[in-house]
Amino acid sequence: MARPGGRSARVQEAVHGAVRELEAEVGRDALTVPLVAARAGVTPSTVYRRWGDLRELLSDVAVERLRPEAPPEDHGALAADLTTWAEQFLDEMTSPPGRAYLRDALLGDPDGNNAGRCSAYAADQIDVILARATDRGEPAPDVETVIDHVVSPMMYRILFRPSPLDADYAHHLVAGLLDGPAGAASDGTDA
Amino acid sequence: MARPGGRSARVQEAVHGAVRELEAEVGRDALTVPLVAARAGVTPSTVYRRWGDLRELLSDVAVERLRPEAPPEDHGALAADLTTWAEQFLDEMTSPPGRAYLRDALLGDPDGNNAGRCSAYAADQIDVILARATDRGEPAPDVETVIDHVVSPMMYRILFRPSPLDADYAHHLVAGLLDGPAGAASDGTDA
DNA sequence: AGCCTTAACGCAAAGACCTTGCTTCTAGCG
DNA sequence: CGCTAGAAGCAAGGTCTTTGCGTTAAGGCT
C-alpha cells in the first residue's frame, strides 16, 4: 500500500533532493547510489529496494525536471503560441542539461512509464494551446498532428543527430504545419 | 594507432560475437562484462579498457544489428518504395528486439556517434529511394523532409509512447508527405 | 629478413558497488 | 490501545570495476 504522507514520502524527497544537490556539486557522472544515499541520510539498500538501480532513480529525477512549470504563453493567436512554445521547447531540450535529462529519463525506464510521462507533458501543453485557439474560433489541428509535425522532428534530431538546432528550425516546422496541407483540419492521426 | 587487421580486430569480433550469443542464451538483462569476456576468451579488463562500460559495448553491438542488410526494394514508383520501406522500418523497430537494440544504441553512447550512425543508415536508405525516383523523372522531396515527416514521427512514438503502431500509421505518414503540401518539392529543411 | 616501437592484452590485487536475509521501526486500522 | 504490514536499517557476502605492471604482437624501418 502506498503511504503517501508518511516516512516513505520523506525518504523519497530526501533522495531526490540529494540527487539534485550532488548533480550540481560533483556532476552527473560521479553519482553513485552509496553517495546519494549518504547525502540523503538513508542506507544504500533503501535506494536499491525502492528504485532498483541508479539509472531508474536518475530517470525519476529527470522526469521531474522535464515537467513544465507553467502553462504555455498566450499570445492571442495559434501561430504565435505554437511557434513560441516550440522555440522554447527546442531551446530547453537542446541545451546540454536538457539533453542529459532527456537521456536519463529514457534510459532507466524499463516499462516506458517515464518516457510516456514526458510525452504527456508536451501533449498537455499543446492541448492547452489548441484549446485556446478553438475558443477563439481559430481552426486548429489535432494534437497528434502537432506531435507528428513539430515535436517528433525536433526530438528525433536532438536524439539522433549531432548537428545543432536553432529557433529557425522550430519556426520552420510550425510554418510547415499551419501553412501546409491539412493546415488547420484534424486528419485523424492516431497511434 | 588503429590496427584494424590484427589482434584488436579478432578481439573485437570475439567480444561482439560473445554478446550476440549470450543475448540469445541468457537474455540481455543477464549480461555482464565478466560473462561476456569469459565467453569471448578475453579478460574483463580488456573489455573495460576498450569499451569502458557494458552499455557502450551493447551500444556498439546494437548499432551493428540496426544496419540494413540490403538496399530498399524497388517497386518502380516513389510512393510504393517509400511506403514499403516505412512499413518494414516500423515493423522492425517496434518489435521487442528492435526496441531493445534502439534503446541500447542510444543508451551507451556518450558522444552520440552511434545514434548518428543509426540516423545515417535510415538517411542512406531513403537517399537510394529518392535517387531512383529522380532517375525515373518523378518529382521527389528532400531527404530531410522525409526524415521530418516519416522517420521522426515513427521514432518518437516508438521511444515515447506505449501504444502499439501498425503499418497503417506508416502508410498514413507517407501519404501525408506525398499527397500533402510540398508533396514533391524540396523545402530546404536543414538541421 | 630481422629488429624496434608501441598499442593492446593478460594477470592480479584492491576497492567500490550490489544483493539479500533478518531485524526494527512506524503509519494506518480495528 | 494493540495489531498488521509495508518500509527502512544493518550487516555480511558476492560480484563487478578499476588500476598498475609485465608481456605479447602488429606494423614500420633499415
Tell me: the pLDDT tens digits for B63-115? 999 999 999 999 999 999 999 999 999 999 999 999 999 999 998 998 899 99
Average pLDDT, chain A: 92
The pLDDT of residue A175 is above 50: yes
In angstroms, the Cα distances linking B186 to A13, B82, B128, B147, B167 are: 51, 16, 16, 12, 26
What is the band of A3 on the pLDDT scale with cuts at 50, 70, 90? very low
**Which of A108-112, B6-10, B55-59 is predicted most confidently?**
B55-59
Q: Do B180 and A182 touch (CB under 8 A)?
A: yes
User: Looking at the complex, does the CB of residue A16 fall below 8 Å from at least one CB of chain B?
Assistant: no
Q: pLDDT, tens digit, for every residue of A117-152?
A: 999 999 999 999 999 999 999 999 999 999 999 999
Average pLDDT, chain B: 92
User: Looking at the complex, does the CB of residue B152 fall below 8 Å from at least one CB of chain A?
Assistant: yes
The CA distance from A64 to A172, in Å, is 29
Q: Do B191 and A118 touch (CB under 8 A)?
A: no
- Which of A162, A169, A176 is the closest to B116 by Cβ? A162
Report CA Rg, chain A: 19
Q: Specify the range with the lowest mean pLDDT, choosing from A86-90, A159-163, B37-41.
A: A159-163
Q: Do B180 and A181 touch (CB under 8 A)?
A: yes
Q: Could you tell me the pTM of the whole model? A: 0.91
Q: Can you tell me the mean pLDDT for B159-179?
A: 95
Q: Can you tell me the mean pLDDT for B109-126?
A: 95
Protein residues bordering strand C (Cβ below 7 A): A 3-7, 32-35, 44-45, 48-49, 52-54; B 1-3, 7-8, 11-12, 41-46, 49-50
Match 526494394 to its residue by C-alpha cell: B73
How confident is the model at residue A184, as a pLDDT? 43
CA→C1' distance for B58 and C11 (Å): 25
Q: Can you tell me the mean pLDDT for B150-167?
A: 96
How confident is the model at residue A185, as a pLDDT? 43
How confident is the model at residue B171, as a pLDDT? 97
How confident is the model at residue B110, as a pLDDT? 86
Measured CA to C1', the nucleotide nearest B48 is D17
What region does B46 belong to: left with phi over 0, alpha with psi -120 to 50, or beta? Answer: alpha
Q: Can you tell me the mean pLDDT for B171-190?
A: 68
User: Looking at the complex, does the CB of residue A180 fall below 8 Å from at least one CB of chain B?
Assistant: yes
Neighbours of A10 (CB within 10 A): 13
Q: Can you tell me the mean pLDDT for A17-38?
A: 97
Nucleic acid strand D within 7 Å of A4 CB: no
Domains of chain B by start residue, with CATH = 7-52 (1.10.10.60), 68-178 (1.10.357.10)
